[in-house]
Structure 1
Amino acid sequence: MKKTSLIAVALLVTTIALAQKIQTKEVPAAVKTAFQKNYPQIKILKWDKEDGNFEASYELNEIDNSVLFDQQGNIIESEVEIKTTQLPQGVLEYVKTNYKTLKVDEAAKITHNDGVIVYEVEMKKMDLLFDSNGKFIKEIKN
């Protein structure tokens, strides 16, 4: 389980670092088809290419969401914006203790295709990652 979590975090870090906006026509047909099959009611707001994968970002019920696909249209992970009150216990205490001068801008729940859940706390010029139990994993500078 620990190895799976570390691999998931490594993938997340890689995809965050290498994202670039692209036009819909640049997205492979398999990816567009998979998105439409899984999310038929959604209008895509934007596409990004991340280290050879494709992220569709959209809004659902006024909540930001995204889903990351590989080139064959397989879902790698999905992300949904959450309220900071929905973070696991201990996350906000960790942030207050270790990042006293910064405020939390956004929070998200990331679910990998293998079921591993990671929480992301976005702050000025950095993201913090926590496991499903609220244990700090890593700081990512933006």
Structure 2
Amino acid sequence: MKKLFFVALTIICSYATSFAQTKTPKAVETAFNAKFPKATKVKWEKENATEFEADFILNGAKRSANYSISGEWLETESLTSFAKIPTKVQDAFNTAHKGAKVKAVAVIENARGETLYEIEVKKGLKEVEYFYNADGTIHKK
């Protein structure tokens, strides 16, 4: 019985510690609310050790925004359709990936002033993302 109690206590403490560590910093929430005051259905998650991501709805569209732990906006990703991205991007993708089945498309605006187009495809059991500049060239990170 004691063993079961300590196992349960360990699990509860572990869960509570991980929950406390993923709390969104006030600076991040403040910066997000200033940039997207009309956002609804906001859900936060910790992207990695130094970044938080908010998934939300704005003007009826699904979006996500990433912020540094200090509250600096890094990028916003907005779901869109393949037909709505620039023709040069569509043509470049179709030429490079004939017959590929597009799973998702997003427009990414980042803090460096770039606008990128992310095209996600399914290749076998994996999902692969391709990033393009507006002129149809592959974006190099």
Whether the TM-score (by the shorter chain) exceeds 0.5 is yes
Match of 1:40 in 2: 37
* Conservation of the 8 A alpha-carbon contact between 2:39 and 2:58: yes
> Which segments of structure 1 move beyond 3 Å, counting only runs of 4 or more?
none
Q: Which amino acid is 1:87 matched to?
A: I
In the TM superposition, what are the counterparts of 1:61-140 in structure 2 within 5 Å?
61-124=59-122, 125-137=127-139
* Conservation of the 8 A alpha-carbon contact between 1:87 and 1:134: no
* Conservation of the 8 A alpha-carbon contact between 1:106 and 1:123: yes
Task: Kindly name which structure, 1 or 2, has the bigger radius of gyration based on alpha carbons.
Answer: 2
TM-score, normalized by length of structure 2?
0.71
Q: Size of the alignment, in residue pairs? A: 117
Deviates more, 1:106-115 or 1:94-103: 94-103
Quick one: distance in 2 between partners of 1:94 and 1:134? 5
Quick one: distance in 2 between partners of 1:137 and 1:114? 13
TM-score, normalized by length of structure 1?
0.70
Unaligned runs of 5+ residues in structure 1 are 1-21
Unaligned runs of 5+ residues in structure 2 are 1-18
CA displacement, residues 57-110 of structure 1 (integer Å, 9 cap, x when unaligned): 112233111111111111111111222122222322333333234211221111
Q: Calculate percent identity across the aligned residue pairs.
A: 30
* Conservation of the 8 A alpha-carbon contact between 2:46 and 2:52: yes
